[in-house]
Structure 1
Amino acid sequence: MVSMPLMPVTDSMFLLVETREHPMHVGGLELFEKPEGAGPNYLSELRQRLREDTNMRSIFRRRPANPVNTAGHLAWSDDTDLDIDYHFRHSALPQPGRIRELLELTSRWHGTLLDRHRPLWEIHLIEGLQDDRFAIYSKIHHALLDGVSALRHLQGTLSDDPDDLDCPPPWGSRAVNGHRNGRAPQPWFKTAGKTLNQLAGIAPAAYKVANEAFREHTLTLPMQAPKTMLNVPIGGARRFAAQSWSLERVRAVATAAGVSRNDVVLAMCSGALRDYLIEQRALPDAAMTAMVPVSLRAKTDNGEAGGNNIGALLCNLGTDKADPADRLAVIHKSMRDGKRMFKQLTPLQVLLLSGINVAALGASPIPGVVNSTKPPFNLVISNVPGPRSQMYWNGARLDGIYPASVLLDGQALNITLTSNGDNLDFGITGCRRSVPHLQRILTHLDTALAELEFATR
């Protein structure tokens, strides 16, 4: 094993808080259409070729330096003898091979912990879908990649050319020699100086936030969210549901209402949550609050970035309002005010002040805390930019990318979506014990979009 640098605190935190009930990996389910002329041995031959590919990003060799004690949360080590057959597995669906069977299998895999004695990732190549497509389910620990960097890494392995048969494996990279992101690392003293300058600005930044929140009353604050059936202690088992919607439908609503596409997505989720909780006889009187992750990465990052660089913005979902247009207006104002505040701060200040929004989650492992306190927010809703055009992987057409995310105690539901060409692909992760009939939320999302179309036409 080769020694590696210390972990950033933002990365080690995800190892420290992980328990059996709270696996801390991000995942994704990708659906592919086999290339024309693919024979019966297509997938087994593809797997064998990928196994022999020596192109591997260094991040996929990392494991905790000492998995059995606290020191393992402080530094990485580099596994120089990685067992690729353990990490890359070939599986088949039970008959009849419907999407239902695929999602059930994904649910089971997403609820199991990664082995800390090995690099923290798994990739499953899945055959047996009844329409002759195949799927890949991948998961990697949040300490290694956040959702944005994981999706950018995936995009880096794809191609917009259906005839490109030299795409790297899911753990590989198209990057040639050079430093991560194509930039040479800055001297430590320059980086430290910049960090100290930004830290010095935290006090005035905190004053800005306090003024907005308490004097101007424009910001949504933590601990204002109502208690719901989603804000309970959770178990380790998961359910996963997925579906796609036309990006053009969302874009048309956004244009008609004069809001952003993400506002429309949040309004879809708000309407779906309202209908789902009414169905469960559990809708709170007060408006629910979502934590909306905001990427602090530069748009020029080419997919080689690792670690975590995410801010946290709170959004009033307006679930107390029956009219979909009223809910959309509440969401638009809440997001506009939060984004305006973030633009006045540096990335480091945003990162540190975002900690205020999520700090209460740190107490959730303490027995009794989740049941006896209000949640800082009701759920996470994340919209991650994905491919803008039709993509392929070694000749196979990419049909869908469905993110599977992390759940924490007191946060039994997560909705994450990504753009994928002409579609928006939603992945919904829920606690198997606490969120009954999870797939019903997909039906309610469809209804919510139709209601928004009617309200804004």
Structure 2
Amino acid sequence: MPDHLSPLDAGFLELEDSDPNVSLAIAAIAILEGPPPSESEFLDSVADRLTTIPHARQRVQTTALDLSAPVWIDDDSFDLDHHLRRTALPAPGDDESLSHLVGRVMAQRLDRSRPMWECWVIEGLEHGRWAVLAKVHHCMADGISGARLFEALCDPDPHRTVVRLVNRTDFGDEQLGIARRVRNALTGESVTQLRSFVRGLLSPLRLARGTLHAAKGFAGIAGGVLTPTAPTSLLGPIGKQRRYTVARASMLDIRDVCGAFDVKVNDVVLAAITGALRTMLLRRGEEPRDDSVRTLVPVSVRSASNADVLDNRVSLMLPVLPVAIADPVEQLAAVHGRMAAHKSGGEAEAGQLATAFAEHWPFAPTAWAVRLASKFPQHGVDIVATNVPGPKQSRTVLGRRVIEILPYVPIAWQLRIGIAILSYVDRVSFGITGDFDSAPDIAFLAREIERHMELLVNEAHSRS
């Protein structure tokens, strides 16, 4: 059975093809205690783990005239040496040096004639540390499955059940395939879908309400994309080069803010980003208006039954960040209210429904639509901000403790700044990607995110 890319997975390839300045790879950068492993030690470790990672030895093959979605096929000339890289930072090996390297590595496109991933060992970090940069094309994984992909490179945890990542059509040997099909027929998502179908037959009113809810969500997404925001320097043409930097926060502090103001973690991080973007716009001599910054917020629609499938399972919301508000607590309240409105407005459900519908629609019209849309400059979305939960327990690689994990999100479609938020144990990292020429001040943005987070934490503690 051919292992086709889903329409959403293939869409990332189409989007990359539409702009020669875009590289649509995501990454996780793990900072580890030293000393770094030898070249042979690391190669052997990765080779042992490749069997648990879908598509690690496969490349993408397109079909003539887009008659079907691209297919994963085995790379008969697979050579691990093409995918493992090693480099070192110049002294003193600080955050700035690492950020410069990440920007350069991630600006380069992955080779489509080979499996689309790379793994870099980076030596020479200060305090005797080293790093691993795991780079993978967005067509292979979203943020959630990308985090699971990184965990597959870590040492097995004796206190956890090892879960093998699977392909979309991976049934293993015959007995395992039969067992999985029986399990899926009797439990999990199949039962959920059957119950939903029966409830729909028994309650036409509920079915109608669900359809109207999705239609409302479609209208919200379309309106967000097609309604221009107030012009700012956040949106415009981008070049090939990238900048990268990091902001950091404590998950314990964020939860204190959640408790004090009865909000969600995502509300808090978006509020800190809102305050920082407001300050950045003012510093650039621009007026932060209430319609200045619409944000693409990916929403995971990954169910428990496909938690270990390596692909993209996301929808989206398009909230406008309240950058016109100066007070951080009022910003937080506004973010919370707007996010709640978008969640109840059916945008996530509409995106999920559209993706499911595309699975059963001929691929060619979908590909042509993506290509056509990418040719026109968009003026409705200004930045992307994606929040990904990472490992809750400390992990190790070859016996070395992972100190922190930094995320990377690509930018495209005239978005000059992208922000990925990743939690790891009790730390939260904001990985900020910027276009090299039009976003030279993302280091300032990172400091402002940390400052606004501190303001919210202080407000929370003063009320406790």
Same fold (TM over 0.5): yes
Aligned AA (1:269): I
What residue is the counterpart of 2:387 in the other structure?
383
What residue is the counterpart of 2:299 in the other structure?
294
What residue is the counterpart of 2:3 in the other structure?
5
After superposition, what is the alpha-carbon deviation per residue over 1:174-207, rounded to whole angstroms, capped at 9, x for unaligned?
A: x996769x944868xx98xx69979x99986553
Aligned AA (1:14): F
What residue is the counterpart of 1:88 in the other structure?
84
What residue is the counterpart of 1:131 in the other structure?
127
1:286 deviates by 2.7
**2-structure distance, mates of 1:403, 1:17:** 21
1:44 to 35, 39, 42: 39
What residue is the counterpart of 1:32 in the other structure?
32
CA contact (8 A) 1:313 1:338 kept: yes
3-state SS of the aligned residue for 1:315?
Answer: coil
**1-structure distance, mates of 2:262, 2:354:** 27
Structure 1 unaligned blocks of 5 or more:
none
**2-structure distance, mates of 1:241, 1:320:** 25
CA contact (8 A) 2:214 2:347 kept: no
CA contact (8 A) 1:404 1:428 kept: yes
1:408 deviates by 1.1
What residue is the counterpart of 2:104 in the other structure?
108
3-state SS of the aligned residue for 2:277?
Answer: helix
What residue is the counterpart of 2:428 in the other structure?
424
**1-structure distance, mates of 2:339, 2:100:** 34
1:240 to 236, 239, 244: 244
Question: Which stretch of structure 1 is more off in the superposition, 60-69 or 307-316?
Answer: 60-69
After superposition, what is the alpha-carbon deviation per residue over 1:133-173, rounded to whole angstroms, capped at 9, x for unaligned?
A: 11011211111111211112222443585999xx99x99xx
CA contact (8 A) 1:237 1:432 kept: yes
1:48 deviates by 4.0
Instruction: Indicate yes or no: 2:137 matched with 1:141.
Output: yes
More helix by share: 2
- Structure-2 change in CA distance of 1:309 and 1:253 (3 Å): same
CA contact (8 A) 2:26 2:136 kept: yes
**1-structure distance, mates of 2:68, 2:246:** 35
Instruction: Indicate yes or no: 2:440 matched with 1:436.
Output: yes
Aligned AA (1:293): P
3-state SS of the aligned residue for 1:140?
Answer: strand
CA contact (8 A) 2:314 2:352 kept: no
1:448 deviates by 0.8
After superposition, what is the alpha-carbon deviation per residue over 1:341-366, rounded to whole angstroms, capped at 9, x for unaligned?
A: 44994884274699xxxx99865642
Instruction: Indicate yes or no: 2:324 matched with 1:326.
Output: no
**2-structure distance, mates of 1:142, 1:12:** 9
Note the 1:58-457 alignment, pairs <5 A: 58-66=54-62, 74-159=70-155, 183-184=180-181, 205=210, 207-208=212-213, 221-222=224-225, 223=227, 225-287=229-291, 288-299=293-304, 301-302=306-307, 304-342=308-346, 345=349, 348-349=352-353, 351=355, 365-366=374-375, 369-370=376-377, 375-456=379-460, 457=462
CA contact (8 A) 2:315 2:352 kept: no
- Structure-2 change in CA distance of 1:130 and 1:376 (3 Å): same
3-state SS of the aligned residue for 1:131?
Answer: helix
* Alignment TM-score, normalising by the size of structure 1: 0.81
Structure 2 unaligned blocks of 5 or more:
359-367
3-state SS of the aligned residue for 2:108?
Answer: coil
1:416 deviates by 0.6
Aligned AA (2:4): L
Number of residue pairs the alignment of both structures matches = 427
CA contact (8 A) 1:365 1:409 kept: yes
1:210 deviates by 5.5
1:307 deviates by 1.6
1:243 deviates by 3.2
- Structure-2 change in CA distance of 1:86 and 1:427 (3 Å): same
What residue is the counterpart of 2:364 in the other structure?
none
1:455 deviates by 3.6
- Structure-2 change in CA distance of 1:400 and 1:311 (3 Å): same
CA contact (8 A) 2:221 2:347 kept: no
**1-structure distance, mates of 2:357, 2:82:** 40
**2-structure distance, mates of 1:110, 1:384:** 19
1:333 deviates by 0.9
After superposition, what is the alpha-carbon deviation per residue over 1:80-115, rounded to whole angstroms, capped at 9, x for unaligned?
A: 331100101121122232221111111001000111
- Structure-2 change in CA distance of 1:211 and 1:142 (3 Å): closer
Q: What fraction of aligned residue pairs are identical, expressed as a percent?
A: 26
**2-structure distance, mates of 1:111, 1:329:** 36
1:211 deviates by 5.4
CA contact (8 A) 1:64 1:72 kept: no
- Structure-2 change in CA distance of 1:74 and 1:86 (3 Å): same
**1-structure distance, mates of 2:57, 2:180:** 22
- Structure-2 change in CA distance of 1:454 and 1:443 (3 Å): same
**2-structure distance, mates of 1:245, 1:53:** 34
What residue is the counterpart of 2:23 in the other structure?
23
- Structure-2 change in CA distance of 1:203 and 1:156 (3 Å): farther
**2-structure distance, mates of 1:176, 1:129:** 42
Aligned AA (2:105): W
Aligned AA (1:267): A
* Alignment TM-score, normalising by the size of structure 2: 0.80
After superposition, what is the alpha-carbon deviation per residue over 1:16-45, rounded to whole angstroms, capped at 9, x for unaligned?
A: 2214211111112111112xxx5xx73335
